[in-house]
């Protein structure tokens, strides 16, 4: 069991999925038809034995509260664990002040009262499978002040843009943080996951507050790179960084493939989510579905190729959906043709018969919109 407080942290300016985040925060984004992004990091924590988790929500928290509930579906028992859903307690007069240090400061009471020696801090927009016990054990063995989880990638020109990259010495001590500007192919990229003593975490919060009202946790860690022993922990598993709409689309599409999905999903390490008791998806004799992920509760009478459909989607006869993501409750009318589209929840495609995007120029249909 991991003897640490789990903290699911804010996203920042480097992570914004245009369109979808106009209606809900990053943790609530639908993923692969049946999950929300927060399901992955929260399941990683509870699977690792972390029973006390604080979830910080930057804005529009209602959907996160509804989805997580008491945390029972994640194995958080109220007698032995606790799930705290937290946001800023005071009004934010400018968006520049709406960052993690502000939220931590305003909820310091709950951090101090959590009776754990260590904290594990991770964001919701990194989709991966990781056992935090391994990270905490490596942290203890190294004697580090802070351990930062990173992944070595060979596609840094297209992915993880705006995310910190790490310069390491031979002992994996971090010498420098730099934003990924997409200039180089091979990089060590931070997964924004940190392990440290809770007392040091509180000290860093207070130091950041004194240093600058705009400082985030990653800023204050970077400022103290020469005074603290900050060690990197290499993570070798699958990681999708959902920090823009292109990467959101790419991750959904690539995980349709069973071989790629096997890198993330493991029956021994379940990713839990809020259950839905809708009926199985129904396929009419006219339906033609190939290489797609379809959630339950759908009614399919058209053609679906290389696409992801959320719960309760209706596809009428003659409709053709290719290379697209259709979120729950959407309606695709007769003879509509969609390619490279993201259709938000409860949108209706009725009168517009053709929406053709490209991999470089995706088409986004707003939530509850009618076309």
Write out pLDDT tens, residues 38-95. Answer: 999 999 999 999 999 999 988 888 888 899 888 888 888 766 778 988 876 655 666 6
One domain, residues 146 and 250: yes
One domain, residues 244 and 295: no
Query: The domain that contains 293 carries what CATH number?
Result: 2.160.10.10
Average predicted confidence (pLDDT) for the chain: 92
For the chain, the straight-line distance linking the first and the last C-alpha, in angstroms and rounded, comes to 51
* Residue 72 forms part of a structural domain: yes
**Contact (Cβ atoms closer than 8 angstroms) between residue 215 and residue 132:** no
Domain that holds residue 297: 282-365
Write out pLDDT tens, residues 16-45. Answer: 888 898 888 899 999 999 999 999 999 999
One domain, residues 155 and 219: yes
One domain, residues 188 and 295: no
pLDDT more than 70, % of the chain: 96
Domain's final residue, options 261, 294, 321: 261
pLDDT more than 90, % of the chain: 78
* Residue 267 forms part of a structural domain: no
* Residue 270 forms part of a structural domain: no
**Using only C-alpha atoms, what is the Rg of the chain?**
21
Instruction: Note the pLDDT of residue 348.
Output: 96
Q: Are strands 288-290 and 303-305 parallel, antiparallel or unpaired?
A: parallel
One domain, residues 242 and 317: no
One domain, residues 257 and 286: no
Query: The domain that contains 173 carries what CATH number?
Result: 3.90.550.10
């Amino acid at each position: 069991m991991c003897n640490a407080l789990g903290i699911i942290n804010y996203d920042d300016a480097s992570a914004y999925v245009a369109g979808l985040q106009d209606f809900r925060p990053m943790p609530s984004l639908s993923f692969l038809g049946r999950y929300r992004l927060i399901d992955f990091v929260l399941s990683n924590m509870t699977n690792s034995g972390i029973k006390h988790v604080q979830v910080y929500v930057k804005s529009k928290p209602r959907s996160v509260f509804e989805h997580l509930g008491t945390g029972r579906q994640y194995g958080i028992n109220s007698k032995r664990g606790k799930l705290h859903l937290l946001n800023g307690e005071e009004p934010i007069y400018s968006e520049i002040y709406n960052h993690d240090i502000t939220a931590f400061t305003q909820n310091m009471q709950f951090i101090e009262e959590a009776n754990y020696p260590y904290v594990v801090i991770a964001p919701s927009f990194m989709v991966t499978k990781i056992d935090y016990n391994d990270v905490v054990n490596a942290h203890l063995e190294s004697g580090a002040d802070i351990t930062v989880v990173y992944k070595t990638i060979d596609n840094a020109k297209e992915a993880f843009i705006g995310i910190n990259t790490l310069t390491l010495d031979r002992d994996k001590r971090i010498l420098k943080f730099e934003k990924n500007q997409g200039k180089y192919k091979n990089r060590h990229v931070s997964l924004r996951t940190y392990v440290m003593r809770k007392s040091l975490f509180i000290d860093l919060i207070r130091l950041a507050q004194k240093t600058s009202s705009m400082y985030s946790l990653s800023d204050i860690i970077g400022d103290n790179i020469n005074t603290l022993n900050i060690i990197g922990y290499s993570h070798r598993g699958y990681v999708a960084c959902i920090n823009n709409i292109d990467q959101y689309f790419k991750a959904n599409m690539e995980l349709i493939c069973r071989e790629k999905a096997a890198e993330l999903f493991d029956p021994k390490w379940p990713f839990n989510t809020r259950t839905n008791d809708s009926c199985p998806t129904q396929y009419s004799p006219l339906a033609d579905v190939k290489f797609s992920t379809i959630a339950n509760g759908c009614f399919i009478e058209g053609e679906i190729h290389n696409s992801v459909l959320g719960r309760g989607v209706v596809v009428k006869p003659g409709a053709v959906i290719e290379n697209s993501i259709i979120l729950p409750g959407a309606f695709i009318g007769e003879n509509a043709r969609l390619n490279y589209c993201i259709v938000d929840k409860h949108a209706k495609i009725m009168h517009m018969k053709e929406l053709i995007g490209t991999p470089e120029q995706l088409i986004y249909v707003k939530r509850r919109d009618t076309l």
